Structure 1
């Protein structure tokens, strides 16, 4: 590993589709737009693991269905 956290896409995402990517280094969760790639300085948000857990729990309970 090169010191940077690995980014991953949702398992619901198509291989070449633009989507949200997530990286989870120790103590934080990073979220970015995949179409911006890995260029340094691109916009991303940093949130706490507890906030990420609450967000994803809300999505799972929302009734939102993954795209077909």
Structure 2
């Protein structure tokens, strides 16, 4: 069983509310994600849950943005 954590990532390319929504919706569809909050001003994505970084990276990419290392 995976442990639930809260992790903040940097996301490149979000410039508006629609960007935030797109990222949040893609990430929240991942199994194990309880919540996701995208913030264009800080360029951050905070994810609560047990999804792996690679899964989150792919979801952000699917939304059209880049998860920075």
- The question of a shared fold, defined as TM-score above 0.5 by the shorter chain, is answered with no
Bigger RCO of structures 1 and 2 (CA < 8 A, at least 6 apart): 2
Bigger helix fraction: 2
TM-score (norm 1): 0.29
| Pair member with larger Rg | 1
Per the normalisation by structure 2, the TM-score is: 0.29
